[in-house]
């Protein structure tokens, strides 16, 4: 996993409003990171989102397929269905005879 590094805000990109309701513990951490890094909260949240989105491989593949104009999205892997523990049949141990 790559290391998260907070760069300085050197380029001024156009901004858009994104509203989200966050858990209070998350808001406290963002405020603390903002204070620690000396950056505004908006910049801190932007950098955290950029980092997280860059780490998500499936999203990056989907993003590339959209930019290429692919008509169909890349299929996501289907998780295995596991039986709950209560429904599993107990199998005799090969050691216990």
What is the pLDDT at residue 3?
77
- Give per-residue pLDDT as tens, 14-39: 888 889 999 999 999 999 999 999 99
Query: Could you state, in order of their start, the residue ranges of all structural domains in the chain?
Result: 24-75
Average pLDDT on 73-96 reads 55
CA gap 81, 79 in Å, rounded: 6
What is the pLDDT at residue 30?
95
DSSP letters for the chain = -PPP------S------------HHHHHHHHHHHHHHT--HHHHHHHHHHHHHHH-HHHHHHHHHHHTT-SSPPPPPPPPP---GGGSPPPPPSS--
Mean pLDDT of the chain: 77
Which residues, at least 6 apart from 39, have a Cβ–Cβ distance to it below 8 Å? Answer: 6, 9, 47
Average pLDDT on 50-57 reads 91
């Amino acid at each position: 996993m790559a290391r998260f590094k907070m760069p300085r805000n050197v380029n001024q990109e156009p901004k858009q409003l994104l509203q989200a309701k966050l858990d209070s513990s998350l808001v406290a951490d963002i405020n603390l990171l903002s204070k620690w890094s000396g950056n505004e909260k908006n910049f801190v949240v932007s950098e955290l989102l950029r980092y997280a989105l860059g780490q998500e491989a499936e999203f990056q593949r989907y993003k590339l397929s959209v930019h290429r104009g692919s008509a169909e999205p890349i299929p996501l892997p289907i998780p295995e269905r596991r039986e709950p523990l209560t429904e599993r049949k107990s199998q005799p141990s090969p050691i216990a005879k």
